[in-house]
Amino acid sequence: MKISLIKAPWWVRYCPPYILAYFSTYLRQLGHKTFCFDLNNLFYHRCSEENKKYWDNRDFYSVWENNTFTDTILEVSSADKFIKEIIETGSHVFVFDTHTPSVNISYAVAQKIKQLKHDAVIVFFGHKSAKTQMAYDFASQPFIDYVCYGEADIPLKNLLEKLEKGFDIFNLPVCEGFLVKQNGNITDCGPGEIVKDLDTLPIPDYADFKEDILNNKYSQPNRLDLLDSRGCVNACHFCYERLFWPKYRIMSAKRLFEQVVKHIKDFPQINYFYFNGLLINGNLKVLEGFCDLVIQNNIKISWAGQAIVRNDMTFELLKKMKQAGCGWVGYGIESGSQKVLNAMNKNFDITKALPLFKNTREAGISFQINMMCGFPVETEEDFNETLKFLKLARPYVNSILASQSFFTLEKCTYIKNNPQQFGITNAEHHLYWKSRDNDYPVRFERYERLCKLALELKYPETSGISAVKPDKWFLLGEYYFYDKDYKKAKECYDKSIETEFKSKEVYEKLIVIAEKLNDACSKAVYVGELNKM
């Protein structure tokens, strides 16, 4: 079959998307003809310099969920031209890889494909398609036929085999691993089979992106991503990603090394690899074995990935990682309070973190620590412990990534299923949940204090650490509108209009607020402004 693999714009564009390269290779080996469309990068190069900042500045993460903004991007990037090219491939199946910032444009492109090609089979997969995320939301859309809510390798193979035998677009076959639309109803076909041995997976062929790689069309032109593992050895109570990958598996050191060798042979300019699993140090034996192969074969590369705090990450191993090219790691610390870490089930002693930081720094590896503000049990005292920890860590840490959504209550996670255990008093909304110790405005204020301290300590202003969050007033307005505090919502939305990205959604909500507050004058002003847009 002919299959188009599509990546909609989603905020950053470091390098060609691994998922598209991998599934293109995987499906071609099964005898299918595939076409890759990295609309994320294609749209970027069609936009003005003013609009390019929404990709290049990572603090604009949430703007990609704004309908007015994404409509603008679709218009200025000539989206219809690319949609026409996708359809002209003659593809029967159109597969979208999904993440939070890509949802709006994925919807728009999928809907347009369905309008122009009624017998198109639209499939959504990826992390945002998990049941812990938007699986049923996606499946409820009339233009989406299948949603793969787990690992897609084997389920997608089986689905294409069924579709090749012929199908009725109004009565599609069931297939394990998917939600499917049948006569307007959503059927859960049951969990799909997962790949047990990652060494059996093909090495992605990035040939579809050769021209863009050679012409430096990505923001990190010497980078490619590698799959090293799926799943996690830990079980943090808040993590939805480990639910998507039900069992920890890692490639062998030999197979990881083979990936590197192939990619630098295909593209000599590539010398930086990012390991896109949840952690690079889930299996220290494999990690050290990979380092040994790189060193023994005198391969000159640099590489990076996320890591957990482990007592057995010795200085000797860290030095070997550096010698093998490891230039950066991101440690998932999240909090400086042991009480909060225990509630998270983080499985490490905060007193062990600073010695690890010191060893990492002395080994010559740069690193970032990832932080959260406002875990449900976090009190003001706990948060102050986090601020103290940042001061203690400053001699070693290169940068901080603070979660821009502070703490998100994800579906199906342990904490979501056991809210009372964490003092949560309102668990209905993933962002606007409340606990006895904090709520959304408190979390926002703590985030700003963390940023302020980080900048005072001369941590670099990077994603998640900013002097001013560019959509602060819009985000607070959304919260107060949800909370039905219309006066505060109006104040925030008005400030957003003055200083931030203007959108139809803000004016529409201000009109609703004016009606709620019986403010006819303001309503007339807002209606007038909306009509100008």
pLDDT per position as a tens digit, 394-430: 999 999 999 989 999 998 899 999 999 999 999 999 9
Going by the DSSP 8-state scheme, the letter that residue 191 receives in this structure is P
Give the other-Cβ count within 10 Å of 72's Cβ: 16
**pLDDT greater than 90 at residue 22:** yes
Task: Give the DSSP per-residue string, 458-479.
Answer: T----TT--SS-TTHHHHHHHH
Mean of pLDDT values over 65-81 = 92
What is the mean pLDDT of the segment spanning 40-68? 88
Taking each helix axis as running N to C, give the angle between helix 353-363 and helix 380-393, from 0 to 180 degrees, rounded to the nearest 10.
30
Please tell me the predicted confidence (pLDDT) of residue 43: 96
191-243 per-position pLDDT tens digit: 999 999 999 999 999 999 999 999 999 999 999 999 999 999 999 999 988 78
Give the separation between CA 375 and CA 447, rounded to whole angstroms: 12
First to last CA, the chain: 43
> Residue 60's pLDDT band (boundaries 50, 70, 90)?
confident
The β-bridge partners of 452 are: none
The pLDDT-based confidence of 281 (bands split at 50, 70, 90) is very high
Q: How confident is the model at residue 246 (pLDDT cuts 50, 70, 90)?
A: confident
pLDDT digits 0-9 by tens, 440-477: 999 999 999 999 999 999 998 876 788 888 899 999 99
Please check the confidence at residue 57 and state whether its pLDDT lies above 90: no
- Segments in 6-118 forming alpha helices (H): 18-29, 39-46, 49-56, 67-76, 79-88, 103-116
Q: What is the pLDDT of residue 468?
A: 86
How far, rounded to the nearest angstrom, does the alpha carbon of residue 187 sit from its chain's CA centroid? 27
pTM above 0.85, yes or no: yes
Distance CA 110, CA 96 (A): 8
What is residue 58's predicted lDDT score, i.e. its pLDDT? 73
Which pLDDT score is estimated for 165?
94
Share of the chain above pLDDT 70, in %: 100
pLDDT for 463: 67
Contact predicate 4/37, CB 8 Å: yes
Distance separating alpha carbons of residues 177 and 180, to the nearest angstrom: 10
Q: Which residues are 94's β-sheet partners?
A: 4, 122
The rounded distance, in Å, linking the Cα atoms of 154 and 135 is 18
DSSP code of residue 141: S
In 141-232, beta strands by DSSP E: 146-148, 178-182, 185-188, 223-226, 229-230
Mean pLDDT of 487-513: 94
Q: What is the mean pLDDT of the chain?
A: 95
Nearest to 443 by CA among 408, 467, 417: 408
In order of start, what are the domains of the chain with their CATH numbers? 2-188 (3.40.50), 198-304 (3.30.750), 479-532 (no CATH)
pLDDT at 290 over 80: yes
Q: How high is the pLDDT of residue 87? A: 98
Please list, in sequence order, all residues whose beta carbon lies within 8 angstroms of the beta carbon of residue 353, skipping any fewer than 6 positions away. Answer: 309, 331, 333, 389, 393
Six token digits for residue 17: 């998307």
Q: Is the pLDDT of residue 19 over 80?
A: yes
Q: Closest Cα to residue 346, out of 233, 264, 464? A: 233
Distance CA 19, CA 225 (A): 9
Q: For position 176, what pLDDT does the model report?
A: 98
pLDDT exceeding 90 applies to what percent of the chain?
86
Instruction: Take residue 431 and report the two structure tokens written for it.
Output: 């962002």
| Residue 487: Cβ-neighbour burial (10 angstroms; 0-12, 13-18, 19+) | exposed
Report the pLDDT value the prediction gives residue 59, as an integer from 0 to 100.
74
Mean pLDDT lowest for which of 112-121, 179-188, 360-369? 179-188
Identify the weakest region by mean pLDDT among 154-158, 181-185, 301-305, 517-521: 181-185
Query: Residues 523, 528, 532, 533: what is their CA dihedral angle, to the nearest 10 degrees?
Result: 10
